[in-house]
Amino acid sequence: MTDLTAAIPDFAPYARTATLLRPTAGTPGVRESSVGGPLLWPVEEAWPVCREPQLVQVREALTDEERELWAGIDRRRRERRRRRVSVVGAEDADLMDRIMDGGSLDLASWERTRYVPTEVGDGVPMVPVVQVFARDLPGWKWPGGADVVQVLWCPQDHAEPAGRRFYWGPTVTVRFRSSSEVGAVAEAPRSAGAQAIYVARPCVLDPAEVVDLPAGDEMPEELFRRGEAWAQARGTEYHRRLACRPGWKVGGWPSWHLTDRVRVDCGVCGVPMRLFLTVDSGGDPGLTVGRFGELRVFVCPADGAHPVGLNIQ
């Protein structure tokens, strides 16, 4: 319980336990919790691969007609600027969108750059993101017999992979297992062409259990304002200090600091999903997700076997 929940008991139902993972560079072993370290993966179990179409950058030269159209847009834009009216008219804006076709334009080479989904044949081996043992997550509810959780992802970008609308980033898989049942351990296969931003540098963990509170859009506004006032009176901030703790963490609450709150519902049974893992950009692991943001993995509270939900802020 935090001082805030003690001072304002109405906050108690919203308090969630979170474990801050606090990764630092190191050389973890297969039977240690880690970010980007080797996994306790049975040699007899197939390594997961991603078969979702991955986004590949393509560069295309504009046709002569497209270059003529763009030159006309430029002429009209200069004239509109001279007359001090809106720089780009509505018709020209639509024409620019059609020419760029969802990409960007290099006016030096007259090439359009786009990302297009491309089939991957036999699939792309996933790479380790994080492994955490039960001894480092004392407050977590584990499925029967499991004492280690492993998270892997595809080291490539994907646009709206199956069942995940409005998502652009790596696909993710979560595995729970019993460490006592693992004998010989497999080595992670090399993932050719992996994006460096999705391959974590090995780190050991320094877990710390904390109480995490939600953002204002997860509770009545009047209660949120009381929490803000309480924090300000003590020289701190409610958001990201007491609520929606930043950084690598298991559990707790997600922050919606770039968008309004997004519903993350299970794609199988439709129930609201619960935050499981937050992956942060930068620091010793050296990952970059989104625009140097956070990737959040949500799990179904009704059935942990249902596919995870994903969101980047």
Domain boundaries along the sequence of the chain: 23-53+120-206+254-312, 56-118
Taking 90 as the threshold, does the pLDDT of residue 193 lie above it?
no
pLDDT in tens, 199-233: 999 999 999 999 999 999 999 999 999 999 999 99
DSSP one-letter code for 199: S
What end-to-end distance do the CA atoms of the chain give, in Å?
Answer: 27
Contact 264, 298 (CB under 8 A): yes
Name the percent of the chain lying above pLDDT 90: 71
pLDDT in tens, 150-160: 999 999 999 88
- Phi, then psi, of 45 in degrees rounded to 5: -100, 130
Burial of 108 by CB count in 10 Å (0-12 exposed, 13-18 middle, 19+ buried)?
A: exposed
H/E stretch holding 65: helix 64-82
Taking 80 as the threshold, does the pLDDT of residue 73 lie above it?
yes
Q: Averaged over 142-163, what is the pLDDT?
A: 91
What pLDDT was estimated at residue 211?
94
CB hemisphere CA count around 198 (13 angstroms): 22
Rounded to the nearest 10°, the torsion over CA 220, 223, 225, 226 is 180
Residues 6+ apart with CB under 8 A from 69: 95, 99
Contact 45, 186 (CB under 8 A): yes
Taking 90 as the threshold, does the pLDDT of residue 136 lie above it?
yes
Of residues 128 and 107, more confidence is placed in 128
Q: Averaged over 232-243, what is the pLDDT?
A: 93
In one-letter notation, the amino acid at residue 87 is V
Taking 70 as the threshold, does the pLDDT of residue 1 lie above it?
no
- Largest separation between any pair of C-alpha atoms in the chain: 76
Rounded to the nearest 10°, the torsion over CA 66, 70, 72, 73 is 140
Q: What is the mean pLDDT of the chain?
A: 92
Query: Rounded to whole angstroms, what are the CA distances from 88 to 102, 110, 112?
Result: 18, 20, 20
